[in-house]
Structure formats: C-alpha cells, structure tokens
C-alpha cells in the first residue's frame, strides 16, 4: 500500500471520531416521561413479559435485528494472528457492511482467547443478547470446531463467513462461469489452492452442488492432499485424493478450474498454459492475487477470470452474501443457517447476474452501458440494491420450507 493510501486509511478510521460504527437511539428520550418508559419504572414491564415467555424478547428488544460479529484475532485478513484487539477494525468494518447493505445492527466482540473450547463457552454465554452470530477471522482448523459446537448448542443462526460466505459467492460465480464456458460441474476438474476455512468450505459446497470428489485436487503448502499423506486434519482427509499428482503444477495440468484462496503470486503463468481449453481462474487472494490478471490475459484468450479486487472484473466478495443470508434468517427467526438456505443464496445470486443491470448500479461504477451477463460480469455488483430483496427472500423461503423458521 502506498504511503498516501496508508495515511488515508488511518485518517478514515480516526476522523472525525474514532472507529466506523456507533449506537443510535430508536426511541425518544427527550422528556422525563420518555425516560420513565425507557428505564425505571417502565422497563420492568417488558422484563416481566420476557421472563414469562422468552420469545417476546423479539418483540420488546432489538434481539431480532442484532448480530454479534465475533473474532479472537487468530487469522485476521491475510495478516495472520494479530490478536483480538487488533482485529477490531475489521469487525467494525463488518458491522458497517451489515448495516449499510441489510439494515442489521451489530455489536462487534473481540474475545482474547486462543483455546477453542473456551471460545465456544464464552460465545454461548453471551448468545442470549443476539439474533445471530457471525464468526470472523478464526484460524483453521479451530474455526471448524468452534462453528460446529456453536451450531449444536445454540438455537440462533451461526455463520463463519470465511467458510460459508466465501463458499456461497464462489459457487455462484463458478456455476455461471461454467455455463459460459460450456462446462458441467460434475465434469470439471477443479484445483483449489488453499486448504483453510475458505478452501474446505467451498469444496464442500461444490460437492453438494454436484462436483465429483475425485475431480477435486486440494493443495496446501506441502502440495496436493493425497491418500498417502500423513498427519492430515480431519477436514483435509475429506479431500485426500488417490492420485500420483503431488505438486500444484501437476494438479494444474488439464484442469478446468483453479480456485485460489491462499496467497500472492503462487500460480505461475506456465501452470496456466497447461490448463484445459476454456479454463476458469478465480485468483482470490487479497490484495495481491495468486496470479495477476494481466499475466493470465497475456498467455490465454479463452479464460474467464475473477479476483477479490474491485479494480478488475468479477470481484468475488462476501458482501454479496452474508448481509442477506442473515437478513433472510432473522426475518423468519431461523434457528440455524442450513444447507438449504445456503443453496438458495447461491441460486439467487447467480440468477440475479442474468437480469438487466439497473441504471443506478451502472452509474455507481461509471459505466454508461454494456454491463451484462458474460465473461466480465459473472455475479452482481456489491452495490446492487436488488440483492437485499432477492437473496434475503430466497433464504427466508428456504428456511420456512426446510422447517427451521420460527415465524
């Protein structure tokens, strides 16, 4: 990052007041009478109602529109273990996105705890405050344990956005890219570089959508995850392929799809040259992708490419998903975010990309015309206002149909 941009980022977070979010009042407090209702003695009445019937908390408090964004700072962005307090700017940023795109209120909570069981216990104890829990920046493989345990113990939606959020948006974009390239997901040979939370969750969701396990090559720092590898985590064992491929270069030969959720400049142009015809490359490491788009376009003209950056076509960004996944879940008081709701979000996001783009979206990106479903427009832009209505509604309907809605 340049010195100018670095200072601009610091100024943004510090001026005119520190931070990015604040609490706003939703009721009048200007008179003595207002205060008597807001606090003592009036506040005793909803207390007694909630004590009699816990579900009335959704009627008398902000629980139904309040999400906790929680991290312990063990895997902050691409920076690694920065600590709970240092993760706070990211959690505040997530809070701002929830409010901006879905009207959801957030308390960001940074928990100074490296022990996964203690982290789970802490979150369970504070959970009555919230209508949902959004986990962030918790390192693999501990994140899998934390999410699974919370889903067992809580009756409110729990989402680890680095897992399901990423998986949903990647899957929506990939299905559209496959359509454009004339490929079917069951036939696609997929290489995923990165076997952490995002990589594992994305491959799991692709399997649910029809990918074939034998066609998936998951690659970590030691190379291809294969059946002969020792000391694999349980999550990696799910994708241990019976194969003679050992390196990323081996896996890339004749591959149809590359998905990178790893680190900068790890995919060499020579590897791209060995891919099958009409390949798909999702280089999603931020801010520097696994391979720069210019390096791909220089050697292939039949490729569809996406990154995590806003300055290239096809930005794969979780903001297309998590605000609306929670909006739909909260609106029907869902007890969980299940597979049906995730698949509904995938379908809604990919379908929206095939509809005409509104003028206000074009204006926001300085585009007069020409933005339509195709190789440079696989998924909607983050500012598309239709996402809130269409994705949230699809998620809510799936919650109702699958029997997890409370209302």
Just list the catalytic residues: 39, 94
Beta pairing, strands 280-283 & 105-110 = unpaired
Distance CA 310, CA 318 (A): 12
Core vs surface per residue 93-109: b (16+ CB within 10 A) or e: bbbebbbebbebbbbbb
Distance CA 185, CA 206 (A): 8
Burial label for 402, CB within 10 Å (0-12, 13-18, 19+), is middle
255: which residues sit within 8 A by CB, 6+ positions away? 189, 190, 191, 217, 275, 276, 279
Distance CA 358, CA 367 (A): 11
> Is the Cβ–Cβ distance between 197 and 370 less than 8 Å?
no
> Is the Cβ–Cβ distance between 279 and 210 less than 8 Å?
no
- And the tokens for 245? 């491929």
User: In 3D, which of 257, 237, 238 has the Cα closest to residue 191?
Assistant: 257
Distance CA 341, CA 307 (A): 25
User: In 3D, which of 268, 325, 260 has the Cα closest to residue 104?
Assistant: 325
Residues in the chain, total: 407
> Is the Cβ–Cβ distance between 50 and 64 less than 8 Å?
no
**For the chain, give me the number of helices (H) and strands (E)?**
17, 10
Distance CA 286, CA 194 (A): 13
């Amino acid at each position: 990052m340049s010195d100018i941009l670095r200072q601009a980022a610091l100024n943004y977070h510090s001026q005119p007041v520190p931070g990015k979010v604040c609490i706003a009042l939703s009721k009048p407090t200007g008179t003595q009478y207002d205060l008597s209702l807001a606090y003592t003695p009036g506040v005793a009445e909803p207390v007694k109602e909630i004590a009699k019937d816990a579900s009335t908390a959704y009627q008398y408090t902000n629980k139904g529109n309040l999400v906790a964004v929680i991290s312990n700072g063990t895997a902050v962005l691409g920076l690694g273990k920065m600590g709970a307090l240092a993760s706070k700017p990211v959690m505040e940023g997530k809070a701002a996105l929830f409010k901006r795109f879905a009207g959801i209120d957030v308390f960001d909570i940074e928990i100074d705890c490296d022990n996964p069981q203690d982290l789970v216990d802490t979150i369970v104890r504070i959970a009555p405050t919230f209508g949902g829990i959004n986990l962030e920046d918790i390192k693999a493989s501990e994140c899998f344990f934390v999410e699974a345990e919370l889903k067992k113990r809580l009756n409110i939606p729990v989402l680890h956005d680095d897992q399901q959020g990423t998986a949903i948006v990647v899957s929506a974009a990939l299905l559209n890219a496959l359509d454009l390239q004339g490929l079917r997901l069951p036939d696609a040979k997929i290489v995923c570089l990165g076997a952490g939370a995002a990589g594992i969750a994305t491959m799991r969701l692709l399997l649910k959508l029809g990918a074939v396990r034998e066609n998936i090559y998951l690659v970590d720092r030691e190379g291809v995850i294969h059946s002969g590898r020792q000391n694999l985590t349980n999550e990696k064992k799910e994708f241990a392929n019976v194969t003679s491929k050992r390196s990323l270069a081996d896996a890339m030969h004749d591959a149809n799809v590359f998905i990178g959720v790893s680190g900068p400049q790890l995919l060499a142009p020579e590897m791209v040259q060995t891919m099958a015809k009409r390949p798909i490359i999702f280089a999603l490491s931020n801010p520097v992708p696994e391979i720069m788009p210019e390096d791909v376009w220089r050697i292939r003209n039949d490729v569809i490419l996406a990154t995590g950056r806003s300055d290239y076509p096809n930005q794969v960004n979780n903001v297309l998903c998590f605000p609306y996944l929670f909006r739909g879940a909260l609106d029907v008081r869902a007890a969980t975010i299940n597979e049906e709701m995730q698949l509904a979000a995938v379908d809604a996001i990919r379908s929206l990309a095939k509809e005409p783009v509104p003028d206000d979206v074009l204006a926001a990106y300085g585009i007069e015309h020409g933005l339509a479903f195709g190789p440079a427009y696989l998924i909607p832009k983050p500012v598309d206002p239709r996402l809130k209505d269409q994705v949230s509604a699809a998620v809510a309907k799936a919650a109702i149909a699958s029997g997890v809605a409370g209302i």
